[in-house]
Amino acid sequence: MAATLCRILLPKQGWLPFTQCVRHGSKSVTRHKRPLHFLKQKLMSVTRYIPPPRPAPIGAYPRQTIRDQEDDPFTILIKKKLKSVFQESKMIAVVQNSGSTADEMMLLKYKLHKHGITVKFFPNQVMRSFLKDSTYSNMAPLFIGHTVLFISKEPKVKEMLSSLRTSRHMLLLGACIDNTLLSAQGVVSYSKLPSVAVVQGELVSGLTLLTSQTAAMLQRHPAQLSALLQQHVKQQSSEGAPKAQEAT
């Protein structure tokens, strides 16, 4: 009877159940937390939850790419000022200021003001972003470090260079004179150029050389003019004869 009962209980032929522990030690559901077997402790520690690495807090590292940010109102104000400066002034010189004192600065400002040159300070970042959008983009490398701007409506380079020569801390980096970029050496050579009037005079005289000579000749005594013309004819005939002899 027990065998038949066993047959009903075991569904498949030759199927044996797992070995079940008959000895009961302690209960599995307890009011306290049951002490874990050491191997189970190890298993729990091996299979613990490891969270994903947390990103750095905002502001911990500087941004890799400087995104285009909207300008704040003060920057917009400075840019308007810069625009007017670039439009009105013919000479814009960039000078490096390596630690000049307030007295020196004041003296320099007064010296330059006598010649109509104003000294301006603008933040480099704003300057660079303004230049990036304007036609003067090649001036951007000049604005690194402590820079001062010398602005004037007339390009008075000689006076500026003389005042810079005397000041110890100011170093000319470059200038934009009449919409042309010049390096420091270029500015020096520009200063050595003759003035516009002189150059214009030279050009005019060069163009009108021949006509002025003929005008002068005509104004002299007609006897001189006739003698000159006779000489000219003789020369031409003498030149023509040897040329014909050479040909034959």
- Give the whole-angstrom CA distance, residue 35 versus residue 28: 11
CA-closest candidate to residue 97, choices 5, 199, 187, 168: 168
Site for another protein in 123-182 (CB under 8 A): 123, 125-126
48 touches another protein (CB under 8 A): yes
Least gap, CB of 148 to another protein (angstroms):
17
Residue nearer to another protein on the CB measure, 13 or 45? 45
43 touches another protein (CB under 8 A): yes
73 touches another protein (CB under 8 A): yes
Using DSSP, state whether 175 is helix, strand or coil: strand
12, 23, 24, 37: which one binds another protein (CB under 8 A): 37
Please name the helix (run of DSSP H) or strand (run of DSSP E) that holds residue 149, with its range, or none: strand 147-152
Q: State the burial class of residue 104 (Cβ atoms within 10 Å of its Cβ: 0-12, 13-18, 19+).
A: middle
Least gap, CB of 29 to another protein (angstroms):
4
Handedness of CA 165, 167, 168, 173 (dihedral sign): negative
5, 39, 197, 223: which one binds another protein (CB under 8 A): 39
Which are the contacts of 109, defined by CB distance < 8 A and separation ≥ 6? 119
Site for another protein in 74-133 (CB under 8 A): 74-75, 77, 123, 125-126
Stretch that binds another protein, among 22-30, 138-146, 159-167, 228-236 (CB under 8 A): 22-30
Residue nearer to another protein on the CB measure, 36 or 227? 36
Least gap, CB of 87 to another protein (angstroms):
22
50 touches another protein (CB under 8 A): yes
CA-closest candidate to residue 179, choices 94, 89, 84, 83: 89
Task: Determine the size of the site formed for another protein (CB under 8 A).
Answer: 28
4, 13, 19, 28: which one binds another protein (CB under 8 A): 28
Contact 184, 173 (CB under 8 A): yes
- Give the whole-angstrom CA distance, residue 92 versus residue 173: 11
Binding site for another protein (CB under 8 A): 27-30, 33-34, 36-37, 39-40, 43-44, 46-53, 72-75, 77, 123, 125-126
